[in-house]
Structure 1
Amino acid sequence: MIQDFSSIIDRFGIGSRGSSAVVHQGTGYFAVTPQAPYDGNLSTAEQTRQLLAKAEARLAEIGSAKQGLIFCAIILADMDGYAEMNEVWDAWVSGMAPPARACFEARLANPNLKVEMIMVCAAASTKAE
């Protein structure tokens, strides 16, 4: 028997492979990448700026803000971009209590991607009931 979870899980941007964000019991989950189509000529810092702008929009969409972030996993295609990404990240979280985070290197799905993030936040879904 398949259980219907639609009354307790809010899904945003539902696609054939996944949703752009999910909120369950006040916690939001999503992954974010730079602006598509991905431009491999941009620096890691520039891609990080694009990504964080998209993250802020996604956070707002699900009833949160960067101050509501609980955890962020940062995936870099190459750790050589770590300092660049950190410079942008540090400016973005300046003046607030930053979330817990982890940063690691992995091969990303597109060769033009330099950074991707997985975020968990406190959220109050704004979807109409």
Structure 2
Amino acid sequence: MDINLPEVVAEVSAAFERYEHALVHNEVEVLDELFHNSPHTLRYGATENLVGYDAIKEFRASRPSQGLQRERMNTVITTYGQDFATANTEFRRVGSERTGRQSQTWVRTPEGWRVVAAHVSLLA
């Protein structure tokens, strides 16, 4: 299996950056688009466990739209073959001392790269 083919890393990096922009600007439609529409998709957050695309979409619709800016550190994107990737990053919200971690599993679908599993946590 080919790990980190440059063209695949570029594709996933672009999808990840699109997600990040949508996240900090509360572009809910883009966030919804970038999660795979499946009952098997999951997102475990700092305070919630969301199983299924519908639960994730509902969470996004009701999430506060303020205080979303953040600084990212140590982002690592790793691709495996042409159709599977992971994206991991650390982050710190503006004005906060706490560091968070975000992990995403990306899969190439007929619609493009989509998140099929995500996890967000905060360090104490």
TM-score norm. by structure 1 comes to 0.28
Structure of greater Rg:
1
Task: Give the structure with the larger strand fraction.
Answer: 2
Larger relative contact order, structure 1 or 2 (CA cutoff 8 Å, min sep 6): 1
Q: TM-score under structure 2 normalisation?
A: 0.28
